[in-house]
Amino acid sequence: MVEVIPLPYFRAHGPVRFLLHHVRKRLTGHLVVLVGLITAVGSAIGAQYAVKDLVDVLGGHPSDRALWRAVALLLVLVGSDNLAWRLAGWGATQAFVAVGGDIQRELFRHLSGHSSQYFTEQLPGALAGRITTAASAAWIIENLVAFNALPPALAVVSSIAVLSLISWRLTTILVAIVVALGALIGWFAARGHHLHERFAGQAAAVAGDLADIVSNIAVVRAFGAERREQARLSHKIEFEMTAQRASLRFLERIRLLHAVSVFAVTAGVLVWSVRLWQEHRITTGDVVLATTLGFTVLHASRDLAMALVELVQHMAKLGEAIQVLGLPHEMEDAPDAIALAVRRGGISIDDVHFSYPNGQQVLLGITLQIEPGSKVGLVGPSGAGKSTLFALLQRHYDPDHGQIRIDGQDIARVTQASLRRSIAVVEQNISLFNRTVLENLRYGRLDATDEEVYQAVEAARCTEFILRLPSGFRTVVGDRGTKLSGGQRQRLAIVRAFLKDAPIILLDEATSELDSESEEAIQEALARLFKGRTVVAIAHRLSTLNAFERIVVLDRGRVVEDGSLSALLGRRSIYSRMYERQFGGVKAR
């Protein structure tokens, strides 16, 4: 069994180790490819020796038996060459494709473990592009090695070995020249690595920018900014093209050096062979063999050089993707983390301080005790820390100081998966997958039956509007749910929370997009959803908190008021002033 190694290890040690690690996972398929290639190249070189043997036989007065034996040997080697290539190709379709799939799965698995802060600093399109680029680069690298680099390398070694049968002196000189040429080309290739890395980075940046513009095309059109965005993207594409040209020009210089060197070597082998024939030291067949092997070395080493410089370029793409995606996770489970066991759903927030990485202080000593099964509303001006507190409750970040406990269990000491299974979240900005309504609803609980989904939809009072959609539950909602209104997206998110059936519910402006009539129906549905569960809700529309038992007012990262609705409205409080501004002095009954 192949050891599981974290991606940051390969980030530090380079793409070669990363790729070899995945090759080991599919070792049998790769061995099939290797055996096929060795057999094919050996047969091809052997066929050239068989041609030499046939020429020598024809040059004498052979018997029929000797003649047809030479012919049969040549045919067997030619047939073996072709069949071995097909064996290698078959093995590659299995092993190389599997490696690409393994890489995509591993990169996405690692990517999904990053914190929210990581995703705010990266373009989503560029991240997705790097995953596919890494898998594509790995597939190209494996094919280049197997079919463009390894065969000519084997051919060069085999040709030199066969040439040693003609002249060991010629072979010795040839080996020295090939080694020196390989070292020179390798030195040049290493000097251009930064050019290939820069090109890979620029290509990823353009891909990310394209995805960003396309996902916000409505905004672009609303501001009439099509030409501006085209000009901006064109400028970035120019940078990419400049980097690509620099990378390709460097490769062409290496290829030119190689072409001149190999031509000189091949010419030397041919001239030497003819001189040996003139001195009657080798046969006519030997000259033919030396000539064909010389051309083999010429073409094989050229193909090898071209493959190697391409390998450098694609290895840079793979390395760039690993560098960005392979950063260590900011939020890891503790080594001794256990699954969260929610018995009642009580939440304790004890002297919690939090600052974002840029140094901005958001929470300054928040202390709250939320009783199991209670409904608590969070209000306050923008930037007061409400959304940050929600993020800490879900452990998207860890507090700088203080603890958050659920039923007495520190959430920093439990597994993140078990924590998030225990919390249902309905956010203000609902994002849906470009899938059917039914698939989006079932996302809260994949094992839910159709009947359970329909019951949750009915409980959330959403049946009517879903059935009015073009294909009902089978309607595809578009990217992020763009085919639906904001209110419809929020109602689907509430159904998702019903279906998840979690003991703790976090609502972030869950009804902000609803009209008054829809809100009234949903409030009734929410009342059923809240029963027996602990609920914490952020609300700017204060009417949504009228049925809540407790309201907490945050301002500048601190709790400034905490009490029941009637208590806060019964005195001159910050909340009562907020309420009066929103409702013109009309107080809740």
Cβ atoms of 301 and 157 within 8 Å: the answer is no
Determine phi and psi for 575, rounding to 5 degrees. Answer: -65, -40
pLDDT for the residue numbered 27: 92
The answer to whether residues 505 and 529 touch, using CB atoms and an 8 Å cutoff, is yes
Question: Given this model, what pLDDT does residue 589 score?
Answer: 43
The confidence score (pLDDT) of residue 190 equals 66
Q: Which two tokens stand for residue 334?
A: 């503790």
CB-based contacts of 259: which residues, under 8 Å, 6+ apart? 302
Residue 1: its pLDDT value, please?
Answer: 47
Parallel, antiparallel or unpaired: strands 534-538 and 504-508? parallel
* pTM for the whole structure: 0.67
pLDDT score at 514: 61
- Answer whether 391's CB lies under 8 Å from 425's CB: no
Task: Give me the pLDDT at residue 189, please.
Answer: 66
Running along the chain, 589 residues long, what does each successive block of 10 average in pLDDT?
A: 70 86 92 92 80 72 77 84 89 91 90 78 76 90 89 81 71 71 68 73 76 73 77 84 81 73 72 75 71 69 72 82 84 86 91 84 91 91 87 89 93 90 83 85 82 84 85 85 80 83 84 62 74 87 83 91 87 84 61
Tell me the pLDDT tens digit for each residue of 300-329: 776 776 777 778 778 888 888 888 888 887
Question: What is the reported pLDDT for 512?
Answer: 61
Tell me, letter by letter, the H, E, C secondary structure of 35-104. HHHHHHHHHHHHHHHHHHHHHHHHHCCCCHHHHHHHHHHHHHHHHHHHHHHHHHHHHHHHHHHHHHHHHH
The per-residue pLDDT for 294 is: 67
What is the C-alpha to C-alpha distance for residues 108 and 124, in angstroms, rounded to an integer? 12
10 Å CB burial of residue 269 (0-12, 13-18, 19+) is: buried
The domains of the chain are located at 7-325
Topology adopted by domain 7-325 = ABC transporter transmembrane region fold (1.20.1560)
Nearest 10 degrees: CA dihedral of 481, 482, 486, 489? -10
Q: What's the token pair of residue 298?
A: 């010429």
Per the CB < 8 A criterion, the answer to whether 492 and 437 are in contact is yes
Quick one: 358 exposed, middle or buried, by C-beta within 10 A (0-12, 13-18, 19+)? Answer: exposed
